[in-house]
Amino acid sequence: MKKESVNQQAGLWKISWPLFLEILLFIMMGNADTLMLSQYADDAVAAVGVSNQVLNLLVIMFGFVTTGTAILVANALGANKEEKARDIITVSFWANGFFGLIISLLMGLFGVQIMQMMNLEDSLLAQAAQYTEWVGGFLVAQAMVMTVSASLRSYGYTKDSMLITLGMNIINVIGNYILVFGPWGLPSYGVMGVAFSTTFSRILGMIVGVAYLQYKLKKPIKSLKKIDQPKSYLRDLLRIGLPSAGEHLTYNATQMVITYIITFMGTAALTTKVYATNIVMFIFVAAIAIGQGTQILVSYKMGSKNYRDAYTQGISSLKIAIGISLVVALIVYSFADPILAIFTQDTQIITIAKQILLLSILMEPGRAFNLVMGNALRAKGDVKYPMYLAIGSMWGVAVVFSYVFGILFHWGLIGCWLAFTIDEWLRGVLMLIRWNKSFRSLKGMRPLSLT
């Protein structure tokens, strides 16, 4: 195995900091869309925000495969089975390519009908539908980018994956500037300009990413005919990926329902949610990176049967993630006024968004619980518990109490965020209890189970 690959001595920092930058750049790509459109029209921000809510739900479909890829490849490398790791990458590539093409076709054909189901005002519907058809119609490119990223990260090449995302981000920002603002006398395309720019950057990222993966790992992507029992690998990928992605699918599905609830509060509330969500993402990006880094390290250590280190890695990562999330939330709230002024001058939006950022100081440490412990449990092979817990809590707490607090109690968006906070802390604490119980008998512990 190459020296850059994940090994037992690889520290969380070495694995996580490039992940942090990659995720930050990915979030900035979405924020660039929002920020540039905010200078164009608030209605355009709301339209794209609702469309992305749907598209993000579909992107989770690709996680069925990529989550399993990240865990199984790292696990195979930990057991010194590099050929198996490369075969898993091949199966992942072809599976996600097939899923991506199907989803892209559906979104390109039925984008208008899907947006009509979101209870949008007439002024938002046409823009949201156009964005959905174009960006959704090329989601296969995002599927390929995610597969490349998962494969590189599993080998420890987190910096390489980050650089690909950086390139996509730069292309997207340049494209947005040209197509939204129309400099040098060029026409301005508004929402469609953002759609073109996002799509082009993803297609370019796919081409560069696949070519680099082939070069870096010496052509791991090959014909399925050259692999013994590809169906077996696909089955293993889905055994881990389906429950894992099911948790993310549940999150995005519930967020769609909550977004639908918020539409009854008016366009101002909907626009505030989009702005607040984009800002809050910067608070938990470190926890996401630490969670993904923890998953790689725990998977590797489970593959090499180093169970005690796997357990301590999970606990250590959790403490770090909680601390960082709390500090960043405090900093963001401290600079709430200048941050919000970048997006909007609407005093009603700013007032509500500041209250949301204040509540996020309590919410984000709870989210850190979920991001770290959920990834750690999946890396250990406990993939169903986080999904079942997510289904029960997100629907039973986040959705139900968003309606109760937000609509019945007339607390608006603040009520929704309070419901999110209760949900995050409840799931986080229960997963920590599960993690501690699962490692009580280290002596009799078996390697990663896929059943």
Pick the more confident residue, 196 or 22. Answer: 196
Domain presence at residue 420? yes
Q: Note the pLDDT of residue 35.
A: 64
In our burial notation (b when 16+ CB lie closer than 10 A, e otherwise), range 182-215 reads eeeeeeebbbebbbbbbbbbbbbbbebbbebbee
Averaged pLDDT for residues 193-222: 87
Q: Please, which contacts does 186-193 make with residues 24 or more away whose CB atoms are closer than 8 Å?
A: 188/40, 190/37, 190/40, 190/41, 190/44, 190/127, 191/37, 191/44, 191/47, 191/48, 191/127, 191/130, 191/131, 192/130, 192/131, 192/134
Residue 257 CB neighbours (<10 A): 16
Pick the more confident residue, 391 or 22. Answer: 391
The 10s digit of each residue's pLDDT in 117-157 is 776 677 777 778 888 888 888 989 989 998 898 888 888 78
Q: Note the pLDDT of residue 363.
A: 94
Averaged pLDDT for residues 177-194: 74
Q: Note the pLDDT of residue 444.
A: 43
Range(s) of the domain holding residue 54: 12-438
* Residue with the two structure tokens 């995050």: 424
Q: Note the pLDDT of residue 30.
A: 59
Domain presence at residue 400? yes
pLDDT band for 429, please (50, 70, 90 cuts): very high
Averaged pLDDT for residues 53-63: 74
Q: Note the pLDDT of residue 420.
A: 94
Q: Which of 85-89, 343-347, 363-367 has the highest mean pLDDT?
A: 363-367
Pick the more confident residue, 225 or 88. Answer: 88
Q: Note the pLDDT of residue 324.
A: 92
Q: Note the pLDDT of residue 218.
A: 77
pLDDT band for 28, please (50, 70, 90 cuts): low
- Mean pLDDT, the chain, rounded, equals 82
Domain presence at residue 450? no
Pick from 69-78, 96-105, 205-214: least confident: 69-78
Handedness of CA 167, 170, 172, 178 (dihedral sign): negative
Domain presence at residue 104? yes
Percentage of the chain exceeding pLDDT 90: 25
Q: Are 319 and 357 in contact (CB under 8 A)?
A: no
Q: Note the pLDDT of residue 447.
A: 40
What CA–CA distance (Å, rounded) separates 273 from 257? 13
Residue 450 has pLDDT above 50, yes or no: no
pLDDT band for 367, please (50, 70, 90 cuts): very high
pLDDT band for 445, please (50, 70, 90 cuts): very low
Residue 408 has pLDDT above 90, yes or no: yes
What are 270's two structure tokens?
Answer: 């909907």
Pick the more confident residue, 8 or 124. Answer: 124
Q: Which of 224-228, 272-276, 360-364, 442-446 has the highest mean pLDDT?
A: 360-364
Domain presence at residue 446? no
Domain presence at residue 6? no
Kindly give the interhelix angle for 158-181 and 12-38, rounded to the nearest 10 degrees.
Answer: 10
Averaged pLDDT for residues 184-203: 81
Q: Tally the domains of the chain.
A: 1
Residue 286 has pLDDT above 70, yes or no: yes
Domain presence at residue 2? no
pLDDT band for 393, please (50, 70, 90 cuts): very high
The 3-state secondary structure of the chain, one letter per residue = CCCCCCCCCCCHHHHHHHHHHHHHHHHHHHHHHHHHHHCCCHHHHHHHHHHHHHHHHHHHHHHHHHHHHHHHHHHHHHCCCHHHHHHHHHHHHHHHHHHHHHHHHHHHHHHHHHHHCCCCCHHHHHHHHHHHHHHHCCHHHHHHHHHHHHHHHHCCCHHHHHHHHHHHHHHHHHHHHHHHHCHHHCCCCCHHHHHHHHHHHHHHHHHHHHHHHHHHCCCCCCCHHHCCCHHHHHHHHHHHHHHHHHHHHHHHHHHHHHHHHHHCCCHHHHHHHHHHHHHHHHHHHHHHHHHHHHHHHHHHHHHCCCHHHHHHHHHHHHHHHHHHHHHHHHHHHHCHHHHHHHHCCCHHHHHHHHHHHHHHHHHHHHHHHHHHHHHHHHHHCCCHHHHHHHHHHHHHHHHHHHHHHHHHCCCHHHHHHHHHHHHHHHHHHHHHHHHHHHCCCCCCCCCCCCC
Q: Note the pLDDT of residue 416.
A: 93
Q: Note the pLDDT of residue 3.
A: 39
Handedness of CA 112, 117, 118, 120 (dihedral sign): positive
- CA Rg value for the chain: 21
How far apart, in Å, are the Cα atoms of 408 and each of 140, 235, 351, 404? 41, 45, 21, 5
Pick the more confident residue, 353 or 3. Answer: 353
Domain presence at residue 1? no
Residue 47 has pLDDT above 80, yes or no: no
pLDDT band for 79, please (50, 70, 90 cuts): confident
